[in-house]
Amino acid sequence: MSKLQVILTADVAGQGRKGEIVSVSEGYARNFLLKNNKGIIATAEELKKIENKKIKDAKKAEEDKKKSIEIKSLLESKKLVINGKTGDNGKLFGAITNKEVSAEIKKEFGLDIDRKKIECTIKSLGEHKAIVKLHTEVKAEVLVVVKG
């Protein structure tokens, strides 16, 4: 039984993840992986393409991180002021949600940040911190001032 080197183009249970090079039997490669577009034969040309893609992806990841750091310094440079509805005793009705913080960031900085990337639980007046996840390694702490 001869073995073939195959580059997986999709995750394959029991074999490996997308982008990995695996050694499989010729029959399995021809009858399953190649036929179902789950792999390509590992030629020198294909290996070079994968290497170039990895380099390109690494550069893009680095640029994304740099951009996230710039956005972080911008977000941390100002306080966000949000007006909340209060009762007679000065307590906030409900809470300030990540949706409201996201809208305020859009209004103040012109940045579209998904509300799911904002962590905050603001239930009172005053200064609070909201954490904005910009990148896997970059988080910004935005100062939110809630006024009545």
What is 3-64's CATH number? 3.40.5.10
Domain ranges of the chain: 3-64, 66-147
What are the strands, taking DSSP E only, across the chain? 3-8, 21-25, 39-41, 79-83, 118-119, 126-133, 139-147
Judge if 3-64 and 66-147 fold alike in CATH terms: no
Phi-psi region of 2 (alpha: psi -120 to 50; beta: other; left: phi over 0): beta
Q: Say how many Å lie between the first and final Cα of the chain, rounded.
A: 77
Q: Which of 138, 111, 50, 121 lies closest to 130 in space, CA to CA?
A: 121
Average the pLDDT over each of 7-11, 24-28, 48-52, 88-92 and give the range with the smallest value: 88-92
At 95 the pLDDT is 84
What is 66-147's CATH number? 3.10.430.100
110 pLDDT higher than 80:
yes
